[in-house]
Structure 1
Amino acid sequence: MKSALLIIDVQHDLFEGSRRPFEADAVIERINALTAKARAAGAPVVFVQHEEADSPLEYNSPGWQLQHGLQVKDSDTRLRKKTSDSFLRTELRELLTTWQVDHLVICGYASEFCVDTTVRSAAAQGYPVTLVSDAHTTHDKPHASGQQIRTHENATLPNVDSFGVKITAVTTAEVSFA
């Protein structure tokens, strides 16, 4: 299988301030480890950036920029999106086809929204998915902490088998692009 790494919405406005996501700094470190592994194996690295007009995530605004500390290379691809699904109304599917990718490794923000939706959308389109269990995050919510939400996603998504492809959840250390 040829894999690609998708890093979803790790953007300044979502990672800074008094309300930081669960394990924000550790997640950045793990994503950097994943990008290094992917690049070493020749796998495409895609940074997905959410945008919304008249908001802190407005295109090209300071909040829209990728989070400080991410190791981004000129060879990486950047993809703009306007919904929680990284495939919807974007060129992601075309890029993956051009690259002959047939497996996705997914990490980023927000576990219960954009990460969950993109994992499900990828599986619905026939891509087996590896969810990096310790490299996605979210903010605490009134009903559950960021850690609880991540744990829930890691337990739930691998049990979704109706798409006909496998979704697995593994740690950063267990991910291989070879």
Structure 2
Amino acid sequence: MYALLILDMQVGLVHGPDKPWRGEALLNTLNSLLSKARKAGAPIFLARHIGPAGSPIEPGSPMTQLVPELVLQGDEVVFEKTRPNAFATTDLAAWLHACGSQGVVIAGMKTQYCVDSTCRAARDLGFDAVLIADGHTCIDTPALKAKDIVAHHNATLAGPFCRVVQAEDWYF
């Protein structure tokens, strides 16, 4: 069985001053994945990145809340993380083992930080990692456009770190 893991789809990242590339399309893709996971009875996990007290993403900040566009039904496990790698200092690996998941389907934000480090960590921890090619995004940086960052990570992570699959081709 594969679990769905959605990373950092938070108000501050999605609706902040710098809009993510293909943000609306990403929300549609994530809602489709949520629906597929529920129909298959797959476990669903959503991570929220939390920063230190006094930061814009301190615990309890409205910026850390999940975006309302996600169709959540209360059957998901929502947890906080403080590192880019969603496994670091969280119970994610234990939860995946407890529900019998041999793999984790990874989607969300931000491609070059949390998505990348979580894909790499999943494989290191013995999980079959699946990255949804059209299920993650970021914002433009001074060095690269978001479109290029996403394409680069899809190409770089495919193989040694994870399988890369289009959302329409993935079934739980």
Fold equivalence (TM over 0.5): yes
Offset at residue 56 of structure 1 (A) = 2.0
**SS of equivalent to 1:159:** coil
Q: How does 1:41-56 map to 2 (within 5 A)?
A: 41-53=40-52, 54-56=54-56
Deviation digits for residues 54-103 of structure 1 (CA, Å, limit 9, x no counterpart): 22211221101001201112111011100001011101011011101101
**Paired positions, count:** 171
The runs of at least 4 aligned residues of structure 1 exceeding 3 Å deviation read none
Query: Structure 1 residues 105-114 or 66-75, which shifts more?
Result: 66-75
TM-score (ref. length: structure 2):
0.96
Q: Distance in 2 between matches of 1:90 and 1:18?
A: 29
Question: Equivalent residue for 1:173?
Answer: 168
Offset at residue 18 of structure 1 (A) = 3.2
Question: Equivalent residue for 2:96?
Answer: 96
Question: Equivalent residue for 1:123?
Answer: 123
Deviation digits for residues 3-54 of structure 1 (CA, Å, limit 9, x no counterpart): 0000000100011133101111110110000000001000001010000022
Q: How does 1:1-178 map to 2 (within 5 A)?
A: 2-53=1-52, 54-160=54-160, 167-177=162-172
Aligned Cα root-mean-square deviation (Å): 1.0
Q: Distance in 1 between matches of 2:18 and 2:68?
A: 16
Offset at residue 129 of structure 1 (A) = 1.1
Q: Distance in 1 between matches of 2:163 and 2:88?
A: 22
**Amino acid of the residue matched to residue 67 of structure 1?**
V
Q: Distance in 1 between matches of 2:98 and 2:78?
A: 15
Offset at residue 171 of structure 1 (A) = 1.0
**Amino acid of the residue matched to residue 154 of structure 1?**
N
**Amino acid of the residue matched to residue 32 of structure 1?**
N
Q: Please, which runs of 5 or more residues in structure 2 have no aligned partner?
A: none
Q: Distance in 1 between matches of 2:153 and 2:104?
A: 17
TM-score (ref. length: structure 1):
0.93
Q: Distance in 2 between matches of 1:17 and 1:57?
A: 12
